[in-house]
Chains A and B, each alone.
Chain A
Amino acid sequence: MIIEGPIVRLRRVRRARPLSLAELASSLERRASAFSGDAAAMLRAQAMMARDPVLHDRLAGLIAAGRPFEQALAEAAASFGVSHQDVGELVRDALYEPASTPHPGYAYVLVADSLSVADMMRVDPAEVLGVVTAEGGPTSHAAILARSMGIPYLSGYAVSPELDVIRLELPDPSPVGIAPQRVPLLANISSPADLALAQQTGAEGVGLLRTEFYTDYASVAAAFEGKPIVVRVLDSGARDLGGRDLGGRDLGGRDENPLGVRGIRYLRARPSLLDAQLASLSGMSVSVMAPMVSTVDEARWFRARCARFGITDVGVMIEVPAAALCADEILAEVDFASIGTNDLTQFTLAADRQIGALSSYQDASHPAVLRLVEFVADAGRRLGKPVSVCGEAAADPALASVLIGLGVTSMSVAPAAIPAMRRALWGLGALGEGA
């Protein structure tokens, strides 16, 4: 992988007034909420250090003894004898800030002596081709954050001040890929935090918008303008209907019964709910799909309902084995299918995924599940219609490679899983340019 571009150097200036530890802590906590996984855990750990009661006591003691704040902070931090990057970063972020947030308006390679989490948070992943630092290693906080943002990060190299442009050849498989992908990597979105993270990690669209949890369609459309956005209409169960349909008939089954009135079955019992949702999606450039479809008739009904609202790109979730086995007939009625491997696995193995004792059955790599996936992917290929996967299986890099081999045309995963997936796909050659 080659990173090439103009250099922008990060410079720091002393703050007019040092930040207090409490200010540093709240700013780290705010940032943590926009991330998940390693990056969030690391930001929380760092915030915890800024709130450390023993550090505060020692700082107060040194200030009371007449030390200036800067010296007191450095001494108090050093008193733990922890040669820990977090402590150093805290002290530096308290005293210094970047001279300016680099937004030159073109793609660049960021060069710095060292980068803190705060520095890394300021850059726009869309503009940064890569990062080179003299200090820090692959496990530094800034490096972890860069990975989660999809930015290649190289540490341990001092860049000559005379250089204006840099060309780096990184070993393959590259730590992080930034090239367009042959198998698009999309994000599953259930919250505003997911949306923010999906943008940071460079998702190529939204493969599954879970509207039970998040319905700010305008924000999603603005964030991923010009990219695929797949909205799954309300995926809910009979419990939410008070157990009865519009005619007052008992819909039956216990709460959350996986074999009960759920998904499109529920929407057919309450079509006004679906209509209201379709009306609010009308006129937006999004695709819409129905959950838990099991018959051709349901697919046809859903397509017709969407057509009333001028929605033309219509798909179905394939989660029920019956739908997988009738993929040709169902795909003939709609424009695309998305395989939900979690439910497909629970239904294929007849094992309720809520029951802990049956967790070993929740294995999407079971040959029966993979055969169903292959069956659906084959039908998609025959009919020229895309077949994506949006279950947990898509986020398992090893299984994802199998799914791609079976003919799946795109993957949608939790935003936090995107960097790891991108690395795995890069290794497979499933990404674009390097492939």
Chain B
Amino acid sequence: MDVMVVVKESLHARPAAVFVQAVLDSGQAVGIARPGGAAADARSILSVLALDIRSGERVVLSGGSRDVLDRLAGVLA
């Protein structure tokens, strides 16, 4: 199950923390990647920051249930 989303706000420390907290709250192992790129563990804020995702970029969320991925996409959109 993959969900693609256009990121509204660049994933700097504070927005990334909000996203990672939502992942942690879901209790599921979720990956985040650029389309076609290697997935990073979305429970790891440092791994998410290392992707350096900027506002307007597309990312793919993977690994979780449909509900959880949709909710997380909502956090990023």
Contacts and interface: CB of A to CB of B under 8 A. Distances in A.
Contact of A52 (B14, B21, B44): B44
A365 B13 CA distance: 35
Interface residues of B, number: 14
Contact of A45 (B14, B43, B47): B14
Contacts of A46: 13
Nearest to A58: B46
A52 B46 contact: yes
Contacts of A84: 13, 46, 49
Interface string A77-117: 10011101011000000000000000000000000000000
Interface in A28-72: 38, 41-42, 44-46, 48-49, 52-55
Contacts of B17: 41, 44-45, 48
Contacts of B43: 53-54
Nearest to A85: B13
Contact of B47 (A42, A77, A80, A86): A80
Interface string B41-61: 101111101100000000000
23 contacts: A38-B14, A41-B14, A41-B17, A45-B17, A45-B45, A48-B17, A48-B45, A49-B45, A49-B46, A52-B47, A53-B43, A54-B43, A54-B46, A54-B47, A55-B46, A77-B46, A80-B49, A80-B50, A81-B50, A82-B49, A84-B46, A86-B13, A87-B46
Interface of B: 13-14, 16-17, 20-21, 41, 43-47, 49-50
Interface of A: 38, 41-42, 44-46, 48-49, 52-55, 77, 80-82, 84, 86-87
